[in-house]
Amino acid sequence: MPQAVDITVNNGAATPVAKVFTLLAPAASDGSSALWALKEGANSKTFNKVEASSRRNASRDAQKLALTFSFPSTYVDAASSLTLVKDQAVINVSVVIPDDFPEAKKDDLVAFTANLMNHALVKAMVRDARAAT
């Protein structure tokens, strides 16, 4: 398993700013979750979060990784002055690597995945959660 560390990525500003998702808890083993948070907001419920968990699939012939990115939308309650979560956008990524998948193809798998997610069309689809037509 890769070593769990803080994750630094640029935000979506016109002039991007590097933001740090702080490691809150590494995964203890297969089946448990690693959790990161962008500690910006009034309280921990308002933080953007990344969660990762991995396990064997049901037939025990592949490794599965589940990534969840959650981005809360907040508001200030007029009566209490507390910052509350109204709703949140969620991105789920599921990765399944069969045990017999060739090692020689894994680097291309990683590169294509990263580059496709960075493609303008895919970004546009993610932005509004709508498939290209």
Model pLDDT for residues 87-128, shown as the tens digit of each residue? 999 999 999 999 999 999 999 999 999 999 999 999 999 999
Q: 7-99 belongs to which CATH class?
A: alpha beta
List, as one string, the DSSP characters of 4-25. P--EEEE-SSSS--EEEEEEEE
**Where in the chain do CATH 3.30.380.10 domains reside?**
7-99
pLDDT at 30 over 90: no
pLDDT of amino acid 73: 95
**17 has a pLDDT exceeding 80:** yes
Question: CA 55, CA 66: separation in Å to the nearest integer?
Answer: 9
pLDDT at residue 1 tops 80: no
Burial of 67 (0-12, 13-18, 19+ CB in 10 A): middle
Q: What's residue 119's pLDDT?
A: 95
Q: What are the tens digits of pLDDT across the range 33-78?
A: 999 999 998 899 999 999 999 999 999 999 999 999 999 999 999 9
12-19 average pLDDT score: 95
The neighbouring-strand residues paired with 19 are 9
